[in-house]
A and B are shown apart, each in its own frame.
Chain A
Amino acid sequence: MDMRRFVIKKTIYLAITLFAILLTNFVLFRIMPGDPIRAWIPKGISPEVAEIIRENLHLNDPMYEQFYYYLVNVFQLDFGVTSSYQMGTEVTEILIPRIFNTLVLVGIGTTIAVFAGVALGRYVAWRRGQAADTVGMAFTLTFYTMPTFLLALGLLILFAGTLDWFPLRGAYGEIPFMDNPPPYSQMSLLEKVVSRGYHIVLPVLAFSIQIMADFVLIMRNSLTDVLTEDYIITARAKGLSDEAVLKDHAMRNALLPVVTVMAIAFGWVVGGEIMVELIFSYEGIGQLTWDAVNKRDFPLLQALFLIMAVGVLFANLIADIVYTYLDPRVKI
């Protein structure tokens, strides 16, 4: 099978899965107990007024019609309006800036975590049994087992609360050394970058240290296994240098589990960064998910779940493709 057919096949599977997700996402929120209109107005509403709202929300239409409208709307990126979080606002309008904020946080954080995690994992695996391995593993296990909120709170209290080096909250707004920064929309591009950079340092640290520990452990264990393989001895026997053995033979194979974890991680990355976003009041989709769950904002939750599910699907598709490049043994 050539790569084109492989991608087409995978895309068809993806489409089927996507439909199943859409169906689940639609049904799930309709079988939950409670009347969605009460999310709009918890007290003081007459049945007549409730009926007006129900009509406006198309809640009286048959289920299949509601599903049809849901599909049409989803493909037009119309997720409706929020029912309790920022009531009445277009869900898309709320989602777009927050997705951007989260992508910046998760993107930078994951990049740092992956590169640093792989490098540190490689470093300690290469020195297994030595002091560097012991210290490195102690460091890794400490952060691996530490709850996200604890690390985030520690960083917040130390660097923002006590030392006042970084802002306490938000994704942007303040600019270091500037007393009255302009509103974000009036900032120059450079000011925006500086403002975002200033605000993102602590959330990125909290986020990346945690997941970096995962990658260190995986990389270290994977590389330790690979280094005992026969082909490594063969490579060494051929007279290749340590660096060449490590880089061209060991690392390539040891990276396979890292790629798998990266794809799976896309799902729990969102879960993990909820705490980071909450503690730093960083306006991303983690914080939004928390608020939407608390307020039982079904339209918003539907959109968020869909985005997360689609994100994981695509991450897995990319992982499958990357896998074939990394490991020629994988048949496509």
Chain B
Amino acid sequence: MVLDQGRIRVWGFVAVVVGCMVFTPLYSLVGSVVAQEEEEEPEKILRAGFLQPVDSMNPMIGLNDASYIFYGLIYDNPHCIDKEMNTEGNLVVDTRPVPATDPEIALAGRPYGSIWEYDITLNAKWHDGEPFTIEDFVWNMELHSEYYDIMWAFQPYSYFMEKVEKVDEDTARIYYFNRETSEPMACSYAYLLAVFLMPRHLLSSESASYISFEWPGSFDDAALPVVGTGPFMVTDEIEDEWTAGDHLTLVRNPNYHWDEDKGMNISFDKIVMYFYDDATSMRLALTSGDLDIAQFPPETYKALKDGIADGTYDNLASYDGLKCTQYWTEIEFCMNEGGPNPSRLDPAIRQALATATDKEYIVTNYYRSLAEEGTTLIPSINEKWHYEPTADEKFVYDLEAAAEMLDDAGYRYPFDGAELREVMADSLAAKEGWAPPGTDLSYHMYVRREYPEEALIAKYLKETWAQIGVGLNYEVVDESYMSTEVYSYEYDTCIWYWSADIDPNYMLFCQSKIAWSGWSDNKYYNESYEENYLASVGAMDEDERKTYVDNCQRIHYRDAAFIIMAAPYQTYVWRTDTFENWGDWDDSPGMSMDNFWGGNPLFFDLEYIGDRTQGFDLTSALIFGGVIAAVVVAVVAVWLLKKRGKKGKASPLGE
């Protein structure tokens, strides 16, 4: 039989398709068998999903939670946070204030607590094999204290640092002072330095500015592209993976110093961080076994939680509760004398607005009950330092009371039927010259576009505050734009957030005057707050410090410069058939994935119990191949039959 050119092409095409279909599974099967023969034991891999990519490999630049989790795996801090949210030594194994009898204290007249001694572990090594030494510790701390302005990322820790001195091969002293007066000063938070330590041997020739703003976080000529001392290490692939943006693979550090320091080891081989753009895809990945743990947005989380409750997902467990990072959201007022309507500087107005804000409604309707109402600067997850306002101090939602507060303070309606109140001559705003009499009580609010619930909250506030005669015009903007406006201190109000470590210093610092033009986003100032804040830093007695910290929180709360609305929950779901010992995150909040201060105890407890296989098994492969082959055969058969049958049919073009 002689085939024409057309037929040869057709049959050639069919042969290629069938060939590919047969060859691909065969190749894969052979590959699978070979791979299984080569590898006696499958790798134990923890796969975590994230809805945001790591911002930067440089810990001075990256900001989001995924970035901090990444840094916390690779780098160590001098101190870390244990399961119960207590401070624990990490690279620094012993921390103590230099005794009052020490000559440097006694003879130099420095206050007790103004010099702290830090003993480092001698068991730690950088991932490239170099030993971690006291010189590393000294260089890192000096970098932050000496170049305080430039090393912006850890300013809440370094503001009070004066200098660092090596004592011996495993001990260094940090001297603390009041940066404003240059007077030595005790430093009560010095027991917790959550500052990621960088390799001196690779970075000491670089400028602080380069390290802080330009360094990509990796090295071209080092043994590994990223070098830390943490429990996990990068691979040579990290830069390719980083550029591809799909996932980041970290392998267990076999020489991690906790083995010798604490007798603690990680029992699995790798962590792979997978980055998703879509919550549904990530949910599918978790439910189908492609992920072991992930944090989900509220709606997806609720669906998964319901599925766990009704038995749909019997291999999953979920957790929602306060974040160990102490994240909360607030309505924030600019305390600088500028912006559209400075009448907001009168505390009576802010207090009235706090009284006219129903946090319970906000939590229920806009955070879908996956949050807790907020009150003061240190949230309730930090039981030790949280201050809960008393019944007398608390702003309880009451529109009538709020209206009365405004009446009493001199902000009244200009005539019956007026929609907005005005600044009257007897008000503080008029007396202080912040706003002339006749100024409407109407404010502008920035809201972040990236968080749709915040625009809904702003709409709710506009409607509610209107009921007491206060106008609100909100503008939804990008966070970067809002940041520009807020840090120019020329705004009325906005909805934003804060998070902090477990020591109260971090958050109190951010609302202190010493953080103006730096971390302070509203130029809040209250003389009494400042006094109590400085006293809290200087108080070496914990009970005494607690009094000052409480005072700060009370003063700040009553000033209502922030109306702290809610502390949104962490919403994690994990598999119970691949790993066990996830822990009880209520009893042990430090077990959360969000514990990014290095040496996360979760990873030391997790035990791999899975029998992981990827793709489908041989039976599935045969069924799959069979189905595809049947479809192809059917299509080809129909096509051939049609071709034969066509010859007898009438032409659509007519005869």
Contact = CB atoms under 8 A, between A and B. Distances in A.
Contact of A42 (B43, B63, B150, B290): B63
Contact of B624 (A52, A56, A165, A232): A165
Contacts of A168: 281, 284-285, 288, 290
Interface of A: 33-36, 38-49, 52-53, 56, 84-89, 93-94, 97-98, 126-128, 153, 156-157, 160-161, 164-165, 167-171, 173-181, 183-185, 190-191, 194, 197, 227, 232-233, 236, 242, 245, 277-281, 283, 287-288, 290-291, 294, 296
B244 A97 contact: yes
Contacts of A280: 281
Contacts of A56: 213-214
Interface string B186-199: 00000000000000
A87 B484 contact: no
A184 B240 CA distance: 9
6 smallest CB-CB distances across A and B, nearest first, come from: A34-B481, A177-B32, A44-B519, A87-B56, A161-B284, A177-B28
B277 A287 contact: yes
Given A44-B153, A177-B616, A233-B653, 8 more contacts: A44-B515, A86-B245, A164-B615, A191-B31, A194-B27, A194-B28, A232-B653, A296-B481
Nearest to B498: A43
Given A40-B61, A97-B244, A176-B615, A281 B487 contact: no
Contact of A174 (B517, B614, B652): B614
A94 B615 contact: no
B37 to A, nearest CB: 11
Contacts of A89: 216, 242-243
B634 interface: no
Contacts of A183: 235, 237, 249
Contacts of B616: 164-165, 176-177
A169 B652 contact: no
Contacts of A290: 277
A71 B511 CA distance: 44
Q: In the complex, which of the residues A85, A88, A156 has the most CB atoms of chain B within 10 Å of its own CB atom?
A: A88
Interface in B332-359: none
Contacts of A46: 149, 152, 517-518
Q: In the complex, which of the residues B53, B56, B621 has the most CB atoms of chain A within 10 Å of its own CB atom?
A: B56
Nearest to A288: B245
B29 interface: yes
A287 B244 CA distance: 11
B480 A42 contact: yes
16 contacts: A33-B477, A33-B481, A35-B480, A38-B483, A44-B515, A52-B209, A87-B62, A89-B216, A156-B280, A160-B284, A175-B28, A179-B35, A179-B36, A194-B27, A279-B278, A281-B276
A81 B240 CA distance: 16
Contacts of A47: 517
Given A48-B149, A281-B277, A178 B246 contact: no
A88 B61 contact: yes
B39 interface: yes
Interface in B9-62: 24-25, 27-29, 31-32, 35-36, 39, 42-43, 53-56, 58, 61-62
Nearest to A89: B216
Contacts of B152: 41, 44-46, 49
Contact of A127 (B63, B213, B652, B653): B652
B276 A93 contact: no
B125 to A, nearest CB: 24
B613 interface: yes
Nearest to A235: B653
B242 to A, nearest CB: 7
Contacts of A197: 24
B532 to A, nearest CB: 22
A84 B55 contact: yes
A161 B42 CA distance: 23
B281 A281 contact: yes
B652 A34 contact: no
A84 B481 CA distance: 13
Given A86-B56, A89-B243, A35 B615 contact: no
Given A88-B61, A236-B653, A178 B249 contact: no
A179 B481 CA distance: 47
Contacts of B158: none
Contacts of B173: none
B612 interface: yes
B284 A156 contact: yes
B61 A169 contact: no
Nearest to A290: B277
Contacts of B213: 40, 52-53, 56
Given A88-B56, A177-B31, A177-B32, A43 B214 contact: no
B608 interface: no
Given A89-B216, A190-B27, A156 B244 contact: no
A38 B480 contact: yes
Interface string B417-456: 0000000000000000000000000000000001000000
A94 B243 CA distance: 5
Contact of A178 (B32, B216, B510): B32
A280 B278 CA distance: 8
B275 interface: yes
B388 interface: no
A296 B478 contact: yes
Contacts of B62: 87
Contacts of B275: 281
A132 B27 CA distance: 39
Contacts of A164: 288, 615-616, 620
Given A48-B149, A49-B152, A197-B24, A179 B42 contact: yes
Contacts of A173: 246-247
Contacts of B652: 126-128, 227, 242
Given A168-B281, A175-B28, A242 B651 contact: yes
B29 A177 contact: yes
B246 A170 contact: yes
A296 to B, nearest CB: 5
Contacts of A34: 477-478, 480-481, 484
A126 B483 CA distance: 61
A33 B446 CA distance: 14
B165 interface: no
Contacts of B214: 56, 88
Interface string B108-142: 00000000000000000000000000000000000
Contacts of B55: 84, 86-87
A160 B288 contact: yes
A180 B35 contact: yes
B25 A88 contact: no
A283 B651 CA distance: 48
Given A87-B55, A180-B43, A39 B480 contact: yes
B287 interface: yes
A203 B39 CA distance: 32
B512 interface: no
A169 B281 contact: yes
Contacts of A181: 35, 614
A173 B35 CA distance: 15
Nearest to A160: B284
B276 A178 contact: no
Nearest to A287: B277
A157 B284 contact: yes
A286 B583 CA distance: 39
Contact of A52 (B43, B150, B478, B621): B150
A315 to B, nearest CB: 26
Interface in B551-592: none
Nearest to B35: A178
A84 B245 CA distance: 13
Q: In the complex, which of the residues A42, A56, A157 has the most CB atoms of chain B within 10 Å of its own CB atom?
A: A42
